[in-house]
Structure formats: structure tokens, C-alpha cells
Structure 1
Amino acid sequence: MDYQEIKAKLRGSMTPVVTPFKENHAIDFEGLSALIEFQLENGTHAISVTGTSGEPSSLTEEERIKVIETAHKTINGRVPFVPGTGSTNHEETVRMTKKAEEIGADAALVIVPYYNKPNQHALYKHFKTVADSVDIPIIVYNIPGRTAQNLHVDTLAHLSKDCPNIIGVKESNKDFEHVNRVLLKCGRDFLLFSGIELLCYPMLAIGGAGSVSATANVLPGKVAQMHDAWFEGDVVTAQKLHYELMELNDVLFKDTNPAPVKAALGMMGKIEPHLRLPMDLPSEELQNEIRQTLNKYGINLQYA
């Protein structure tokens, strides 16, 4: 596979689309397709599913595959497709990544295994084994706040040199020194995506490729426009949009993602706002704050 070709395409706003559920908690596949169409209509540059925002730990392996298949069919090559295939279980991660390749995904997003807290040597072996098992490009997903382990820059740099299909990283890492050193050690052509909403613009400024922002589920056009402005050299507009998005970013992360995002999408009439336990919707107080914030942004609410 020509990894340079996909690296050139993977730029901008990659929305981590939520997994919509019906009232009986079955997956709403029609709703998923509609969410993806909403993204594409609003200029989103790439789509991901079954990452953190997609509640993958609440899905069976078979359900994850069906979500990936549905998303791939809906996207139909219009933008790059990068499903999340990682798990706390190594063999499951290998199987899911192979399945994503078989389905036709452009790349796979593979999270640092959560709960286990493997050491750096074990993390290297895990990611190298996954990368060696497929020809599909891999974007490593480092989110220490939810995995309880941070993938060190040196470990990532080692992987990027030893595995030609490890082409980038999604850094949900508030340590901005760390993310600067990723590009220093892995090379300026290594794809760096922000997974922290308030760092989406700053990461572009240091050479990042884009962001994977849960906020783009709710306001995809603005998030995409911020990236478009930056890549067109319109720094003033990019900065303006960065600050415009800040209040929405803040309210959507006052509870664990994707609960506030799903509440917002429910108010917008995009989905039935259901999560599977142990996740649940935010408090009524926070839902009221989300509703007020959406009104400030002029977002049309179906269920006020």
C-alpha cells in the first residue's frame, strides 16, 4: 500500500461519530448513516467510528464490525475512513484491525490498551504486532486520561521507525511539551491529530495534521472551517473559530464523553439520546446548560 498517498489525504477535521442506540439499546444503523451524511454535508474531512466517542467497550465484537461496515458503505469513498479497532485485549485488537482492512478502511485508529497499564516495552510489542499483522496504515491513539498509561514519545518514535504503516498518532494528551516532542522525534511528516478540543488549533500551529474532536459531532461545519482556514493560511479566521468553539467545547466535556454529545444530538433531533450502561446521560442541570449553549450558537433544537 502507498502510505504516502493516505498520509496526504488525512488532513483536517476527522469526526469521531457516536454510535446511536434505540430505546431498547439496539444499535440504530439508519441513524448512524444519517449522522455520517450530516457530517459530510457540513464539510468534515474524514470519519472515524468505534473510537472513544463510539462507546466501543459497550459493543460486542460483532456489533463493532457491523458499525464499521455500515460506516464504510455510507461514506463510499467520499472522505477517508479511519475506524477505531483497539481494545484492552490484544488478540481482539489484531482481529478488529484485520477486519477493518478487509472491509476497506483507509487506516485504523488503535488505542493504547486501557485498564491493563502495560509498560513501554509491552506497548511497543503490542503495537508492532498489530501493525505487522496488516498492510493498512495505523494511527496510534494515546489518551492517558482514560487508559491510565501514557505512550512515551521514545516508544512512539521507535514504533514509527520500525513499522512503516504506523503513520501517525491521535494525542488526547494535555502535556503540550509531549506533543511537540512527537513531531521532533517521529519526524515532521508524522501525522499528529489532536484529541483535546482546546488543543486542536494549537496543534495545527506546531505542524499537526488535524483533529479528532467530539465537538464536531454537534457543530461539524465550524470545526471543519477552522481547519480549512488554517490550511489556506487564514490565521485570523482560524483563531476566531478556535475561540468561537471554546464555550461549546467546555460544556460538552463537563461529563464523560460521549454523554453530553449524545444529549446535544438528541436535542437537535439527530439521534435518540441513549447510552448503554455503565454510561448514562448527564444530569438535568447539565442538560439544561447544554441546551442553553446550543441556543447561543443558533443551533436548531427539535426537542427544547
Structure 2
Amino acid sequence: MSIKWEGVMPAVTTQFTANDELDLELFKVNIKAQLDAGVHGIVLGGTLGEASTLTDDERRILTRETVAFVKGKVPVLMNIAEQTTKAAINLAKTAEEDGAKGLMMLPPMRYKASDAEVVEYFKAVANSTSLPIMIYNNPVDYKIEVTLDMFAELLKTCPNIQAVKESTRDTTNITRIKNRFGDRLAIMTGVDTLALESLILGADGWVAGLVDAFPAETVAIYELQKAGRIKEAIAIYRWFMPLLELDINPKLVQYIKLASAYTKIGSEYVRAPRLVLEGEERKTIIKIIEDGLKTRPTLPAYKKM
């Protein structure tokens, strides 16, 4: 089983009702907007999906509903962010049963594992499933870095480890990965504010956040730079930057959900302990969103280039 690791893959939000239940109807509104914009995959259960607050049943429902809704147009991936190897293996199993075509995987959560422990964790899960895997490397937020030497060990024995979501925030890492592994390890940039730079440097795609509110603009940047229309991509990217900066804050879920409510493809309901924004912080974020909407660019033709 394989995935074409390229293009824009939204780390989609999980939509909730005011009563803290899954809002599958609004969830599908957002997924449809992503598909209409031309995304290349869907990632469920990431940070933006509020994975740590979801029950096992809810994750399975989201996977099945998404797989049924996209009807094979793009691959559906489930994120694994677990505390134990046993739980991670079980989630990989149920994700595959429910129709996911790939996995995104973080190192073990909460415990600051050693390099050897992290490698063994990834190996155990990879060897338990036939699904292709993208390792999410985000030492800034999750305090564990998957080094190039660790990747080298994993790639020797785990053919289904195929990609990295590169979120170290060091763009020179893209060149290091390409120099060392060539096409063996695809690179999906995972930081919205470094996305265009990363793509130009050789990243294969973009696991995006603000795409949840602005799907067309996100895909346009990817497609334009791929077609060599760099100036057009830069113009959109410069307009987008104040909004993209909402992705690099501990409250990125609240910020991006509020933006998606303004673009009418999501709501701002979050699951506790998160709370909807209030006071001056809310006013600040609303101003950023409204300023962006006032100057929202008319996009050039970007599909099927």
C-alpha cells in the first residue's frame, strides 16, 4: 500500500456541537471545502483535530465517515499520538480496519523517551501494520526530536515509514534530509509560516493548519510554486502571513476554528479543557481574521496546472 506524499494535506479540525458532541454535518462541510479546493489528502486526529480529547469510538466514527465521504478521491490518514506502544499498535489496527490509507505518528507522548526508545516505538508500530507512515517530527512542541540518524535506522528496517512531517522550524533540515535520503523519505512541511520557503527548498508537500479556514488560498500557494509561478505564490503568501501566524500559538485550535467560523466552513466550539476565546484576546484574533477577509486576494487559476 502506498501514498503519493505530495500536495496539501489538511490537518482537519474536529467539529463539535454546543452540547459537545461530534458535529458530523459541519465536519463534512469543511471536508467538502477541502476537496473542492483540490487538497491531496486528509489528516484526522492531529493537534487541530483535538485528538487527545477524543474517545476511541469518536476517532473510529470520524475515520469511517471521512472515508465514506471522500470516496477515494484522496487518501485519509489517522494520526497516532499515544502514551504506550500497545495503544499505538491498537490505533493503527483500528485505523486500517476503518479504511484509513495511512498514518501520521508522533513519538510517545508525555514520557521523554530516549532515542533508542523512540526508534523501537516507531518500529513496533510500523511492523504491526501495512499502512504507510509519516513521522511527525516536532521537537518544539513535543520535546522529542527524531534525528537523521534515527531516521536512518528506521528506514533500514521499516519500508512503510515513507515520509516526515518536518516541523523542527529549521528549514536547513530539508536540505539535510534530501542530501542524506534522497527520495526515500518524502518531506511534508508542517509549519504554516515556513511553508512556501520549505516547498521551494524541496519539501514535497504541506500538512497545513489555516487550510481549515482558507483551503483555496493554501492549495493555490502549493500549486503556483510547483508550476514555477513563484511571484504569484509569494503575493498570496504575504497576504496570508498574519493568518498563518495563528498556527504557531498554543491556542492554535481556538484561533483556527474561529477563522473557519468566519469563512463559514466550521464553528468555534472546542472541547474542554479548551475554551472559546474571550475578552481582548478574542478581539485581537477577530481583527486579524477580519483584516485578512477585507483584503482577501482574487486567486489566479491554479487547478490542474
Runs of 4+ with deviation above 4 angstroms: none
Q: Does 1:197 align with 2:192?
A: yes
Gaps of 5+ in 1: none
Indicate if the aligned counterparts of 1:214 and 1:261 stay in contact, CA closer than 8 A: yes
Give the one of 107, 126, 135 matched to 1:112. 107
Structure 1 residues 252 and 125, CA, compared in 2 at 3 Å: closer, same or farther? closer
Contact 1:157 1:182 in 2 (8 A): no
1:280 correspondence with 2:275: yes
Q: Which residue of 2 aligns with 1:266?
A: 261
Match of 1:165 among 152, 160, 167: 160
SS of the residue aligned with 1:109? strand
- Provide the C-alpha distance between the structure 1 equivalents of 2:184 and 2:233, rounded to a whole number of angstroms: 22
Any conservation in 2 of the 1:68–1:100 contact (CA below 8 Å)? yes
Where does 1:148-297 land on structure 2 (aligned, <5 Å)?
A: 148-297=143-292
Is the 8 Å Cα contact of residues 81 and 109 (structure 2) preserved in structure 1? no
Instruction: Provide the C-alpha distance between the structure 1 equivalents of 2:184 and 2:250, rounded to a whole number of angstroms.
Output: 35
Per-residue deviation at 1:255?
4.4
Correspondence for 1:43 among 38, 41, 60: 38
State the secondary structure of the residue aligned to 1:244: helix
Distance of aligned partners of 1:192 and 1:235 in 2 relative to their CA distance in 1, 3 Å threshold: same
Query: Does the aligned pair in 2 maintain the 1:160–1:186 contact within 8 Å?
Result: no
Q: 1:24 aligns with which of 1, 11, 19?
A: 19
2:124 counterpart residue number = 129
| Within-5 A mapping of 1:88-103 | 88-103=83-98
Mind listing any 5+ residue stretches in structure 2 that lack a counterpart?
296-305
3-state SS, counterpart of residue 105 of structure 2: strand
Q: Secondary structure at the match of 1:193?
A: strand
Instruction: Please tell me whether the aligned partners of residues 265 and 271 of structure 1 are also in contact (alpha carbons under 8 angstroms).
Output: yes
- Alignment check: 8 A CA contact 1:45 1:224 kept: no
Structure 1 residue 224, shift from structure 2 partner: 0.2
Offset of 1:293 from its aligned partner? 2.5
**Offset, 1:180:** 2.9
Secondary structure in 1 matching 2:130: coil
TM score, norm. by length of structure 2? 0.90
Shift of 1:252: 4.7
What is the CA–CA distance in structure 2 between the aligned matches of 1:228 and 1:271, rounded to whole Å? 24
Q: Would you say 1:74 and 2:65 are equivalent positions?
A: no
Q: Which amino acid aligns with 1:78?
A: K
1:192–1:78: structure 2 CA closer, same or farther, 3 Å change rule? Answer: same
C-alpha displacement of 1:162? 1.6
Partners of 2:148 and 2:63 in 1: how far apart? 30
Q: Distance in 2 between matches of 1:283 and 1:69?
A: 34
Q: State the Cα distance separating 1:177 from its structure 2 match.
A: 3.1
Please tell me whether the aligned partners of residues 189 and 195 of structure 2 are also in contact (alpha carbons under 8 angstroms): yes
Distance 1:179 1:279 in 2: 33
Alpha-carbon offset, residue 149 of structure 1: 1.2
How far apart, CA to CA, are the structure 2 residues paired with 1:85 and 1:71? 17
SS in 2 for 1:169: strand
Greater shift in the superposed pair: 95-104 or 10-19: 95-104
CA distance 1:130–1:73, shift in 2 (3 Å): same
Q: Structure 1-normalised TM-score?
A: 0.91
Q: Secondary structure at the match of 1:66?
A: helix
- Partner secondary structure for residue 146 of structure 1: helix
**Distance in 1, Cα, partners of 2:111 & 2:162:** 25
User: Which has the higher mean CA deviation after the structures are superposed, 202-211 or 131-140?
Assistant: 202-211
Deviations 1:188-228 (A, max 9, x none): 34210111112111211222111111111011101101110
Contact residue 137 and residue 164 of structure 2 kept, 8 A: yes
Deviations 1:11-49 (A, max 9, x none): 111111100111111111222111101111122222111
* Corresponding pairs, count: 295
